[in-house]
């Protein structure tokens, strides 16, 4: 799995980082909201604060977040490349023969 994440990071660069951090933010805020608004886990993590418990739950889900990043990043890159919002994976525009 680590090799796949590394290859995704090399191929898609900053898009992969943004996707991973976006998924991380959604998961930690989701866990925080669930803990804060009524769901209480049956563990000692519930006693150390909602953010700490949310962070610990988020760390437990890291393998799932990595799989989601590997699955979602190519789709996000296609969307950004279609809109012209991201550099193509082939390098900077100056390095391409057509100069575009």
pLDDT band of 75, cuts 50, 70, 90: very high
Domain ranges of the chain: 2-86
d(CA 46, CA 52): 8
Give the per-residue pLDDT at 35.
79
For residues 89 and 77, the answer to whether their CB atoms sit within 8 Å is: yes
d(CA 85, CA 71): 20
Give the per-residue pLDDT at 65.
92
Please tell me the pTM assigned to this model: 0.67
Give the per-residue pLDDT at 100.
47
SS3 98: coil
Q: Which of 72, 75, 57, 65 is nearest to 1 (CA)?
A: 65
Q: Which of 10, 51, 3 is nearest to 31 (CA)?
A: 51
């Amino acid at each position: 799995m680590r090799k796949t994440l590394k290859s995704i990071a090399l191929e898609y660069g900053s898009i992969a980082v943004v996707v991973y951090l976006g998924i991380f933010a959604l998961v930690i805020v989701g866990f925080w909201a669930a803990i804060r608004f009524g769901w209480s886990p049956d563990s000692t993590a519930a006693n150390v604060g909602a953010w700490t418990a949310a962070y610990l739950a988020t760390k437990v889900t890291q393998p799932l977040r990595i799989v989601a990043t590997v699955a979602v990043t190519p789709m996000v890159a296609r969307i950004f490349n279609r809109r012209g919002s991201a550099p193509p994976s082939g390098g900077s525009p100056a390095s391409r023969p057509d100069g575009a």
